Amino acid sequence: MSETANRISPTQDTPNIVISVDAMGGDKGCGAVVSGMAKAAQTYPNIKFIVHGDQAQLAPLLAKRKNLSGKYEVRHAADVITMDDKPSHAMRNGKNSSMWGTVEAVKAKDADAAVSCGNTGALMAISMLRLRKLPGVYRPAIAILWPSRNASGFNVMLDVGADIRADAPDLLKYALMGASYARNGFGLKRPRVGLLNVGTEEHKGRPELKEAHELISETFDGGDYEYVGFVEGNDIPSDTVDVIVTDGFTGNIALKTGEGTANMIGTAMRESFKATLLSRLGALFAIVPLKRFSRRIDPRRKNGGVFLGLNGTVVKSHGGADATGIAAAITLAYDLAAENFSEKLAVRVASAGLGGDSEPHVTKS
């Protein structure tokens, strides 16, 4: 909880949770963001917002939402970081952008967590610059929830695109951070952690993966997670593992391949049901199971990549998210803030005894 939450007139007895929201930079515009905020406020009455963006556009959109009344503060930002801006450009020239303001509010402890639909690379660069990395973390990671056959319905996968490479010590830290996320997010006592590879045999795969396998095996203290060794692509949506650790290049390819496959299958199914008059009739009779199925694989239901390894919580929403997707990203940020996840993660990484510096290629155990 932020000590400055009182600034935006709390009305509940429960402590407020303040979410800093970047209203600009998403594909669907700030209207979708404001709709998402209103949806999230229905779920969590004690949520408050600091909204960053163009005051002139935002004020009328926010005023229309009765259930947001008294629950937000607008911080005007003149600039918007676009999807085409390079991260280095955003770091040098982004000080007046809505994205910068969104992260800055977490840095200043005005807000408990940040949410943005904008450019991923720019958001990570600004987050690293302003929030700084946790001691012992050289490469922060982006963790997402992947629909799976597990009881929770999801697995955690990281990194899905913070950095295109990861060395063995980075992969070890991803294992620790991912396990911490799964413990807090799913209430699992000992999440099962696997390292993504092209085979499950120890002689297979890239050299840094073999090194990481040894490092994680050695570091693993039998305590609060279980290391299951190498896993393969088909294990990602399975119930054999809770946390999948990989580098950001491979993770991003896997994530987008999964999304593309699910989209193609969804299209093929709709086409099958539209093919003839008889099959349209069939669809009418099958409407309940088809809706149940669509809900289960709906990617908007869980939306949000969490930046792990920073002093503060930042959630990256899908750029193309609609109100439902944005509400999911905001409630994810709320849940993490309510659980003090950022502080717990910092303690976990520090207590792993992996050293207080953040140099690359240095293996400490």
What letter would DSSP give residue 234? Answer: G
Q: How far is the CB of 348 from its own copies (least distance, A)?
A: 28
229: contact with its own copies by CB under 8 A: no
129: contact with its own copies by CB under 8 A: no
92: contact with its own copies by CB under 8 A: no
Q: Are strands 17-22 and 47-53 parallel, antiparallel or unpaired?
A: parallel
Number of residues this chain uses to bind its own copies (CB under 8 A): 62
Contacts (CB under 8 A) with its own copies, residues 289-318: 289-290, 292-293, 296-297
Q: Give the integer Cα–Cα distance in Å for 82 and 26.
A: 9
Amino acid at 239: D
281: contact with its own copies by CB under 8 A: yes
Q: Which is nearer to its own copies, 7 or 296 (CB)?
A: 296
Query: Judged by CB under 8 A, which of 9, 43, 217, 276 binds its own copies?
Result: 276
Q: How far is the CB of 354 from its own copies (least distance, A)?
A: 26
> 3-state class of 295 per DSSP?
helix
Backbone angles phi, psi at 349, to 5 degrees: -65, -40
Q: Give the integer Cα–Cα distance in Å for 361 and 169.
A: 7
221: contact with its own copies by CB under 8 A: no
Q: Are strands 141-147 and 154-158 parallel, antiparallel or unpaired?
A: antiparallel
Q: How far is the CB of 277 from its own copies (least distance, A)?
A: 11
277: contact with its own copies by CB under 8 A: no
Window of 48-56, 102-110, 235-243, 332-340 that interacts with its own copies by CB under 8 A: 235-243
Q: Give the integer Cα–Cα distance in Å for 137 and 88.
A: 21
- Contact letters for its own copies, residues 134-153 (x by CB under 8 A): -------------xxx----
Q: Which is nearer to its own copies, 110 or 235 (CB)?
A: 235
What letter would DSSP give residue 93? Answer: H
Q: Which is nearer to its own copies, 49 or 146 (CB)?
A: 146
Query: Tokens 């700030």 — which residue?
Result: 30
Query: Judged by CB under 8 A, which of 67, 272, 351, 365 binds its own copies?
Result: 272
Q: Give the integer Cα–Cα distance in Å for 28 and 33.
A: 8
Query: Tokens 């409407």 — which residue?
Result: 287
Contact 19, 333 (CB under 8 A): yes
Query: Tokens 């992947």 — which residue?
Result: 146
> 3-state class of 92 per DSSP?
helix
Query: Judged by CB under 8 A, which of 29, 229, 233, 299 binds its own copies?
Result: 233
232: contact with its own copies by CB under 8 A: yes
14: contact with its own copies by CB under 8 A: no
Q: Give the integer Cα–Cα distance in Å for 142 and 178.
A: 10
Query: Tokens 């610059």 — which residue?
Result: 129
Contact 114, 50 (CB under 8 A): no
286: contact with its own copies by CB under 8 A: yes
- Contact letters for its own copies, residues 165-184 (x by CB under 8 A): x-------------------
Q: Which chain residues interact with its own copies by CB under 8 A? A: 84, 86, 147-149, 161, 164-165, 196, 198, 201, 203, 205-206, 232-238, 246, 248-250, 252-265, 267-269, 272-273, 275-276, 278-279, 281-290, 292-293, 296-297
